[in-house]
Amino acid sequence: MKNTVQPAYYSDTIAAISTPPGEGGIGIVRLSGPDTLKITQKIFLPFKNNFINPRSHSLIYGNIISPESKEIIDEVLLSTMRAPYSYTREDVVEINCHGGLLPLTKILQLVLEHGARLAEPGEFTKRAFLNGRIDLAQAEAVIDIIRSKTEESMRHAAFQLQGKTSGEITLLRNLLIDLRSHLELSIDFIEDDLEIISKNKLLELLYQALEKIDKLLSSAKIGRILREGIKIAIIGRPNVGKSSLLNRLLNEERAIVTHIPGTTRDIIEETININGIPAAIIDTAGIRKTTDEVEKLGIERTRMSIHQADIVLLTLDVSEKLHEEDIEIIKEIKNKKTIYVLNKIDKIFNSESKSVQNFLDLIYEETFSREIPHIQISSLTGEGIENLKKLIYNLIINKRIDNKNDVFINNIRHEEALKKAGYSLLRAIEGVKSKLSPEFIASDVKEASENLGIITGKTFTEDILDNIFKNFCIGK
C-alpha cells in the first residue's frame, strides 16, 4: 500500500543507547515521544530547581535515581529538546551519563521500566521522516554519513542531507505534475477539439525532463565510485615488481617481496585512498604458463580479478626486454581499462631512455593504439608513485565531476527509481509521437512523477521503509 507523509505523532515513547558499545568518556541514552518528560521526571533528580517543565534546548545537571530503591545510578547532564524543535519533532531527552556499559544499560533499563519502549534500528530517524522533518533521501543521507569511508563520499552525503538531491528531484517532479494536469485538462476538452498544450511544447518539456533524469543517472556511476570505491588489479608476469608496487601504494610491507619468480601465489587485497576515493588493490599471482597446480589456481583467480577490476595496472620491467609472457598478458587485457606501469626505471640510465621508447613502441604494436595510458615508476625508490595515483584518478573520474556542487545520485534505490521514471517518460514521448490519446500520456507522466516521489518519500511503502531503516543502528 502506498502512503503519503503526514505527521504521525506516535503515541508511544521510544528509548535506546545512542552511543557505540564499549567504554567511552560519555554515553547517551536517548528518549523520544509524548511521554519523554513524564518518564524522565520519574528517574531524574536535578541538583537545582525541578524538571517539571524544562526549557527546550536546555542542559540540566543532576542524578539518575531508581525511584523504588532511591539508589543513585549515575551523575548526568540531561539535554531536552521540546517538540517540534527536535530531531524527531517529538519531545526528546538525551541523558549524558558516564560511558560504560553498566551505567548505560542500567539507565536504559530504568527508562524502559517506567514507560518507554526499546527503539528499533533507525527508529528515531524514521520518526524524523514520518513526522515530516526530513524526507527519505535525507534520512538515507544520515546513514551514508555514518558509514562514509572517505571525505569525498561524506561530502556528498552531507550535501544530500541538506536536501540538495531532494530539491532537484522535487523540481523535476513538480514539472511533471504540471505537465500531467495540462494533459488531464486536454482530456476534458478533447470533445471541443481544444489544444491546451501543443504537441511540440509537450515533446519539448518531456525531453527536458528526460535529459535531467539522464544527467542524474550518469552521476550515479560516479556516486557508486564515491560510495563503494574502485577495484584495481595489479598484474604482470612474475618478478616485474607487482608486490613492490603494492607495498609502495600501501606504504608498508604487506605482500612478500622475494627474488623467486611466482611467489605471490595468493591474491592480496588492500584498500588505499586515491584522492578521496577508496580503492581496493588486488595484487595478483601473475599470469604465465605453468605446470604447478597451485600456481595454476592462482592464475585462474588472477583472471577473475582482472574481470572484476575497474582498472588494471599492467606492470612491466623496463630494465629488461618485453617478454613473450608480457605480450600474452597485453593480449589478454586488450578490452580492459589499463595503465601500463613501466617499473624499475631506476635501473635505466639516461642514455638508455631510448629503451623506454622502444618498449612503448612494442606495446603500441600489440595494442594497435598510440593512446595507451602509461607511466614510468620505480617501486624501489618511489619515483612516479604519486603521478600514478593521479593518473588512476583521472582515468576513473575523468571529467565526470565538472562541478563539485552538482547533485550526485549515490544510492541504488534512487538510481532504480530514476530509471523507472525515465522509461515512463520514454513511453510518454512515444505516445505523443504516435498521437495517443492524452489520457495514456498523462498516465505515463503520472508514473514518472510517482517514481520520483519514491526517492524523496512523497510516496512510499512499508517495505521501502523497512529496507532503509534496517540498515541503521539502534539509537539513531
In angstroms, the CA 451 to CA 426 distance is 14
Greatest alpha-carbon span in the chain? 89
Among 19, 79, 186, 239, binds ligand GDP (CB under 6 A): 239
* Straight-line distance from the first to the last Cα atom of the chain, in angstroms, rounded to the nearest whole number: 26
List the one residue from 148, 153, 166, 379 that touches ligand GDP (CB under 6 A): 379
Quick one: 229 or 241, whose CB is closer to ligand GDP?
241
32 vs 343, which CB is nearer to ligand GDP? 343
If binding is defined by CB under 6 A, does position 238 make contact with ligand GDP?
yes
Comparison of 97 and 333: residue with beta carbon closer to ligand GDP: 333
Query: How would you classify the pairing of strands 268-274 and 92-99?
Result: unpaired
Counting contacts by CB under 6 A, is residue 240 touching ligand GDP? yes
Q: Which is nearer to ligand GDP, 81 or 287 (CB)?
A: 287
According to DSSP, the residues that pair with 61 across neighbouring strands are 77
Helix and strand element counts for the chain (H, E):
15, 15
Distance, in Å, from the CA atom of 303 to the CA atom of 309, rounded to the nearest integer, reads 10
Nearer Cβ to ligand GDP, position 325 or 346? 346
Shortest distance (Å) from residue 236 CB to ligand GDP: 6
Place of cell 616485474: 240
φ, ψ dihedrals at 250, nearest 5°: -90, -15
Q: Residue 170 or residue 264: which is nearer to ligand GDP going by CB? A: 264
- Least separation, in Å, of the C-beta of 383 and ligand GDP? 8
Element spanning 353, H or E: helix 353-367
Q: For cell 540531561, name the residue.
A: 78
Comparing CB distances to ligand GDP, the nearer of 259 and 370 is 259
Give the β-pairing of 277-283 and 44-46. unpaired
**Interface with ligand GDP (CB under 6 A), residue from 347, 404, 433, 470:** 347
CB 288 within 8 A of CB 238: yes
CA distances (Å), 468 to each of 266, 331, 473, in order? 37, 44, 11
By beta-carbon distance, which residue lies closest to ligand GDP?
Answer: 241
Candidates 96, 131, 302, 378: give the one binding ligand GDP (CB under 6 A).
378
CB closer to ligand GDP, 148 vs 239: 239
Interacting positions 256-275 with ligand GDP (CB under 6 A) = 257-259, 264
Q: Confirm or reject binding of residue 346 to ligand GDP (CB under 6 A).
A: yes
Does 196 help bind ligand GDP (rule: CB under 6 A)?
Answer: no
Q: How many residues bind ligand GDP (CB under 6 A)?
A: 19
> In this chain, which stretch among 21-29, 126-134, 344-352, 455-463 interacts with ligand GDP, using CB under 6 A?
344-352
Question: Which lies closer to ligand GDP via its Cβ, residue 126 or residue 248?
Answer: 248
Q: Is the dihedral of CA 16, 18, 21, 25 positive or negative?
A: negative
126 touches ligand GDP by CB under 6 A: no
Candidate list 156, 344, 446, 458; residue touching ligand GDP; CB under 6 A: 344
* Radius of gyration from C-alpha coordinates of the chain: 30
- Looking at 105-113, 214-222, 238-246, 454-462, which segment touches ligand GDP (CB under 6 A)? 238-246
Q: Give dist(CA 365, CA 347) in Å, integer.
A: 24
Q: Is there binding between residue 251 and ligand GDP (CB under 6 A)?
A: no
Which residue number, 16 or 342, has a Cβ lying nearer to ligand GDP? Answer: 342
Ordered DSSP codes for 404-468: TTS-----HHHHHHHHHHHHHHHHHHHHHHTT--HHHHHHHHHHHHHHHHHHHTSEE-HHHHHHH
**Length of the chain counted residue by residue:** 476
Distance from C-alpha of 468 to C-alpha of 419, rounded to nearest angstrom: 19
Distance in Å, CB of 245 to ligand GDP, minimum: 7
Tell whether residue 241 is a contact of ligand GDP (CB under 6 A): yes
Residue of the chain from 380, 395, 464, 474 that contacts ligand GDP (CB under 6 A) = 380
Contact positions vs ligand GDP (CB under 6 A): 236, 238-244, 257-259, 264, 343-344, 346-347, 378-380
